[in-house]
């Protein structure tokens, strides 16, 4: 299948984008907020307002606890939680509001054997490629149950260090290719600024949007997906390939402006 060219947020026709849309889905890091940081006030207000108008999903490579601290705990009084769909660990898990708390709908956890193989391959290949660094912030490899995540600088690395480590994505793309060759039965993809994620085969953001469409009784083509990693090696790109109305942003400030246009269109 040929590559898809995903338009930038300021090149899309908002009215056309919103015509017949049933769900707005977002990546998290560098789309709604900076890596592991909570949404800023303007983003929290726009995001909350959007949930009062339409179903909204967040599909992120991050774990559930981060999704809660970055998004859920920043919701304003305007938010309609029953319209919000949380899909952490690249959509391998799904949570919905149950009236008083968030309840799991499904989880596609890796087997103990696959988790062990993922750990071994990540460490061996990272060492061979010279990116198993001596000094890191926190864990290098994290077991998220349904996903194994390698963070070259550690899970707690400062945002500035993460963003400066691999600006061309070459390092994490190379590591992902090497690990994928070791583990062809699993899904291996570049994650955030300095990470690589491993999950069940074909369980990625394309799986997430298809599952969500099926559960909600809509089509994938009725979903707008907003993300910053829309290049063919990016972890948001599978959602574009699945047939969503994909839109590329470069930072949360772009997303705030895009959301403002979407809210205005949906409110008419």
Could you tell me if 90 and 60 are in contact, meaning their C-beta atoms sit under 8 angstroms apart?
yes
Chain center to CA of 84: 15
Q: What pLDDT is attached to residue 31?
A: 98
> Which positions make up the binding site for alpha-D-mannose 1-phosphate?
144, 195, 197
Please report the pLDDT score of residue 1 as a whole number.
56
Query: Alpha-carbon distance 47 to 236, whole Å?
Result: 19
Q: What's the pTM?
A: 0.89
CB-based contact 240:3 (threshold 8 Å) = no
Class of domain 112-200: alpha beta
Where residue 268 falls among pLDDT bands split at 50, 70, 90? confident
Asked whether 249 and 69 are in contact (CB, 8 A), the reply is no
pLDDT reading at 203 higher than 70:
yes
Mean of pLDDT values over 101-106: 96
Can you say which residues are annotated as belonging to the binding site? 27, 29, 144, 195, 197, 228, 244
Cα-Cα end-to-end distance for the chain: 38
**Top CATH class, 9-108+203-267:** alpha beta
| Spacing of C-alpha 109 from chain mean position | 17
Answer for the pair 155, 139: CB distance below 8 angstroms, yes or no. yes
Binding residues for Mg(2+): 27, 29, 228, 244
Catalytic annotation present for 29: yes
Instruction: Give the list of residues 6+ apart from residue 27 with CB closer than 8 angstroms, or none.
Output: 58, 59, 60, 205, 225, 226, 227, 228, 229, 235, 236
**What pLDDT score does 233 carry?**
85
Phi first, then psi: what are they for 104, rounded to 5°?
A: -70, 135
CATH 3.40.50.1000 domain span(s) along the chain: 9-108+203-267
What residue ranges of the chain are covered by domains with CATH 3.30.1240.20? 112-200
55-59/84-87 β-pairing: parallel
Which residue among the candidates 27, 166, 204, 236 is catalytic per the annotation?
27
∠ at Cα 227 (237, 212), nearest 5°? 75
Check 3, 11, 13, 29 and give the catalytic one: 29
Nearest to 31, CA basis, from 84, 89, 70, 64: 70
Task: Provide the sign of the torsion angle of the four alpha carbons 171, 174, 180, 183, taken in this order.
Answer: negative
Q: Mark whether 13 is an active-site residue.
A: no
Mean pLDDT of 194-198: 95
Q: Is the pLDDT confidence value at 2 over 80?
A: no
pLDDT over 90, % of the chain: 91
- Which whole number is the average pLDDT over 202-226? 96
């Amino acid at each position: 299948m040929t590559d898809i060219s995903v338009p930038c947020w300021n090149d899309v026709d908002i009215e056309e984008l919103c015509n017949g849309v049933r769900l707005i889905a977002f990546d998290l890091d560098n789309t709604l907020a900076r890596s592991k940081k909570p949404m800023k006030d303007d983003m929290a207000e726009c995001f909350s307002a959007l949930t009062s108008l339409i179903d909204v999903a967040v599909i992120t490579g991050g774990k559930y606890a981060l999704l809660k601290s970055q998004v859920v705990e920043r919701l304003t009084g305007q938010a309609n939680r029953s319209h919000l769909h949380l899909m952490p660990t690249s959509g391998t898990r799904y949570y919905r509001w149950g009236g008083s708390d968030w309840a799991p709908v499904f989880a596609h956890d890796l087997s103990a054997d696959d988790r062990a193989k993922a750990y071994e391959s990540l460490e061996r290949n990272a060492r061979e490629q010279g990116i198993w660094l001596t000094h890191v912030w926190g864990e290098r490899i994290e077991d998220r149950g349904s996903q194994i995540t390698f963070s070259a600088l550690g899970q707690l690395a400062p945002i500035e260090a993460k963003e400066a480590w691999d600006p061309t994505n070459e390092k994490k793309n190379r590591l992902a290719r090497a690990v994928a060759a070791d583990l062809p039965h699993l899904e291996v993809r570049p994650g955030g600024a300095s990470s690589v994620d491993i999950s069940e085969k074909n369980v990625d953001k394309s799986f997430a949007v298809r599952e969500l469409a099926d559960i909600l009784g809509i089509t994938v083509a009725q979903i707008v997906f907003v993300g910053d990693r829309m290049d063919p090696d990016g972890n948001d790109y599978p959602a574009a390939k699945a047939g969503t109305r994909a839109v590329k942003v470069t930072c949360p400030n772009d997303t705030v402006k895009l959301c403002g246009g979407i809210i205005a269109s949906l409110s008419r």
